[in-house]
Amino acid sequence: TAVENIDIGGPALIRASAKNHDFVTVVVDPADYKGVLDELAAHQGATTLALRRTLAAKAYARTAAYDAAISNWFADRLDDPAPAWRAVGGHLAEPLRYGENPHQSAAFYRTPERRAGVATARQLQGKQLSYNNINDTDAAYECVAEFSEPAVVVIKHANPCGVAIAKDQYSAYLKAYECDPVSIYGGIVAVNRRLEADTATDLAKRFLEVVICPDATPQALEILARRKDVRVLLAGTLPDPLSAGMTLKSVAGGYLLQSRDNGRVKRADLKVVTRRAPSEQEIADLLFAFTVCKHVKSNAIVYAKNGATVGVGAGQMNRRDSSRIAAIRAAEAGEIAKRAQSPAIGSVVASDAFFPFADGLLAAAEAGATAVIQPGGSMRDKEVIEAADRAGLAMVFTGMRHFRH
């Protein structure tokens, strides 16, 4: 069993050797063999105290990570989401040039989880990934994995600025691009299928930071190779959006740990609360929009139509402003595409949390939306439902919130 395979003697010997590093050289990583051999050759069969101290620190960190893996295994088996002590272990993937800003130091660590994504991907070209690249690429790949149909996601600053599904990858890309052709500049693009040459040809025309996909055709890779600065990542497979897991966020003096948001709303979960029920097409778009909303920073409003976002309002301090910004984005994208009217007209709207007042919903109605999906649960739900009825909107409640901070 797993318990029988727990090593006792090995960690004990390593820790004892590390404590006695004034006289003992302890090596826990084959990558350090050459450095030790070089010192032995340079110092007549001895090592320096500086090296022994460095190796001792590494040894303690290695046994700590091993114990962390064991304690977390026990917590999972005991179904204990909040054990009295929680240890987190990781192995250095690479030091980064800097963090979110050049004056901040940073490093990228891999955990034992092995979840498909940026941590498991193989980089084929481009410069080293930055802290922000890794964060944004993770957001893009987690979002695109939500969809079973061919899907394309464009991310900027960890927020989707274009998401679409279609019968084929290139059509999905064109719809995602059209949502916000301005914000894609310097963005991240994720696809959930093998990257095809048609899509790569258009991507090669853009200034992009990262393209991530499960795999790519040789022709697609040849096309992207002409843009040597774009980082191309092949992840092999997609993460399971329904799988369990934990996410961690640091705060002053500690960290917050929570289960991954693997919630998904299905058609059967929808509760129609207005006089008018949504049409079949509206229901499909409502479910699509609410899925995208899960990956948008709160307060999040997403306008969608025909399996594509047409406007995204992210990270605002009130829901009305998010709704207005999404409508503005939609109108501007319509102008760029030379459409006769804003694509928000005839769209549906998703909100990651309930509307505390009717103003955000009414802003969506003014933009031309016809149906709304939201969790419900506000003390003013009755007022919001009445406002939706007066505006002729169909509205459904999900009973599930998707805050994202």
Catalytic residue among 19, 91, 271, 382: 19
Q: Comparing 1-15, 44-58, 227-241, 337-351, which segment has the lowest mean pLDDT?
A: 1-15
**pLDDT tens for residues 389-404?**
999 999 999 999 999 9
**pLDDT tens for residues 320-343?**
999 999 999 999 999 999 999 999
Report d(CA 256, CA 359) in Å as an integer.
33
Look up 91 and say whether it is catalytic.
Answer: no
Look up 205 and say whether it is catalytic.
Answer: no
Res 84 pLDDT > 80:
yes
Average pLDDT score over residue span 169-188: 97
Would you kindly state where each structural domain of the chain is located, as residue ranges? 3-78, 110-234, 265-397
Res 204 pLDDT > 80:
yes
Confidence of residue 242 (pLDDT cuts 50, 70, 90): very high
**pLDDT tens for residues 348-369?**
999 999 999 999 999 999 999 9
Q: What pLDDT score was predicted for residue 117? A: 96
Q: Which fold has domain 265-397?
A: Cytidine Deaminase; domain 2 (3.40.140)
The reply to whether domains 110-234 and 265-397 share a CATH topology is yes
Structure tokens at 168: 């084929």
Q: What pLDDT score was predicted for residue 365? A: 96
Res 113 pLDDT > 90:
no
**pLDDT tens for residues 41-80?**
999 999 999 999 999 999 999 999 999 999 999 999 999 9
Bridge partners for 303 per DSSP: 311, 349
Report d(CA 145, CA 165) in Å as an integer.
11
Which CATH number is associated with domain 110-234?
3.40.140.20
Task: Output the CA angle 325-306-314, nearest 5 degrees.
Answer: 25
Task: Output the CA angle 215-204-210, nearest 5 degrees.
Answer: 55
Pick the CATH number of 3-78 from 3.40.640.10, 3.40.50.1380, 3.40.50.1820, 3.40.50.720: 3.40.50.1380
Res 114 pLDDT > 90:
no
Confidence of residue 20 (pLDDT cuts 50, 70, 90): very high
Structure tokens at 290: 């609410």
DSSP E strands, 47-103:
91-96
Confidence of residue 2 (pLDDT cuts 50, 70, 90): confident
Res 124 pLDDT > 80:
yes
Catalytic residue among 21, 103, 156, 157: 157
Q: What pLDDT score was predicted for residue 1? A: 76
208-213 and 231-234 strand pairing: parallel
